[in-house]
Amino acid sequence: MNVLVTGNLPESIISTIRAEHRVEVNPKDEPMPRDQLLSAVADKHGILSMLTDRVDDALLDQAPHLKIVANCAVGYDNIDMAAATQRRIAVTNTPGVLTDSTADVVFALMLAVGRRVVEGDQRVRQGHFKHFAPFHFLGQDISGKTLGIVGMGRIGQAVAKRAAGFNMPIIYTSRTRLPAEKEAAMGARYENFETVLGESDFLSLNVPLTPQTHHLVGADQLRLMKPTAILINTARGPVIDEIALVQALREQWIGGAGLDVYENEPFLAPGLIACKNAVVLPHVGSATIETRTRMAELATQNLFVGLRGGIPPNCLNSEIFT
C-alpha cells in the first residue's frame, strides 16, 4: 500500500516500512508545507504523522483511500477525531514510551528555573563571572518544597516518583483520583485545583489539551499562586494563557516558569523571551534517542496493523471496527 511519513525519521524505521509498502517521506527536519501535504495524501492508504500536521476535514477529503493515521506522539489534538471516525479511519498514538523522558524534563526545568542554571551559564560565557560572592545569584531549593501536580496520569505519576528523591511533599488534582493505596505509596495528597495552585512551590502541568483544559491556567489562576512559585508546562501550550503568563512573570506574581510547549507553537507570546525568570525549551520533552526511536517504532506497528485492517494496539477510535 501507499504510505506517507511526514517526518524525517531514521532510515532503520523507513526501511522497515519500505519492506512492506511504497513509502513517500518528508526528508526535511521541518513540517511539510500544507499544500504539499494535501497533495501527497491523495493516493495514500496510511499516514505516519507528526504532531505538527493538521489532519482535518480538508486533508481527509483529499485522501479517499486512507485507512489509518498513526500519530507519532501521545497527544493528538492535531487530528480531527470526529472527522476521522466518521470516515472510519483509524487514529493511533504512542502512549507510555515517552513517560520517563518527559518526567525527566519536568525536573530539568524545575532545577533550571529554581537554580537559575541558564542565567548562570550565560553569565560565565559572557565573561561576567569574576569572583564568588556569598549572596549573589541566589536561586531557591527544590528539596523539601511542595510539588503540585495537575493531571495524575502516566507522566504525572512518573513526576511524583522522581519527587520522592527530592523529599518533596506532593499535592495533586486530576480528573480521576488515584486509589488510596497509590496515594499513600506516593505520599500524594488529593486536593481541588485552587488548593493545589495556592500551596505549590513548584507546579507541574501534565494534562492533555481538551476544550476543558484550554487556558486552564490564566490570570485568575496565576494570581492564586505563591509569588515564589515556579510553573512548569511540558503538556500542551494552550493549557496556559501565555499572554497572562508574560504579565505574571514581568510583574512577579509568580517566581518563574519552565516551558517546553507554547500556545501558538513555535511562536512565543510577545515579551516571553525577555523574561529572565523563564526557561524556554524547543519542545524536547521526549527528545532522547531511545524515546523518539521507540515512538517511531510504535507508530510503525500501529500503521502496519491498521493497513492490514486490524485494530491497532493504540487505536483511539476503536468503535469504527464494531
Q: Is 263 a catalytic residue?
A: no
Return the half-sphere exposure (C-beta side, CA atoms, 13 A cut-off) of residue 169: 11
Choice among 154, 162, 265, 294 that is catalytic: 265
154, 162, 215, 283: the active-site residue: 283
- For residue 295, the tally of other CB atoms under 10 A from its CB is 24
Identify the DSSP state of 227: T
Is 265 tagged catalytic?
yes
Task: Determine the Cα–Cα distance for residues 310 and 322; give it in Å rounded to an integer.
Answer: 12
* Burial class, 193, CB count within 10 angstroms (exposed 0-12 / middle 13-18 / buried 19+): middle
Catalytic residue among 45, 116, 236, 292: 236
Residue 52 CB burial class (10 angstroms; 0-12, 13-18, ≥19): middle
* Nearest CA among 13, 34, 80, 12 for reference residue 302: 13
SS3 162: helix
- Residue 277, judged by CB atoms within 10 A of its CB (0-12, 13-18, 19+), counts as middle
DSSP string covering 42-90, please?
Answer: GG-SEEEE-TTS-B-HHHHHT-TT--EEEESSS--TTB-HHHHHHTT-E
Give me the phi and psi of 257, to 5 degrees please.
-145, 145
Distance of CA 183 to the CA centre of its chain: 24
**Can you tell me the distance from the alpha carbon of 98 to that of 119, in angstroms, rounded to the nearest whole number?**
28
- Taking each continuous run of H as one helix and of E as one strand, the counts in the chain are 12, 12
Catalytic site positions: 236, 265, 283
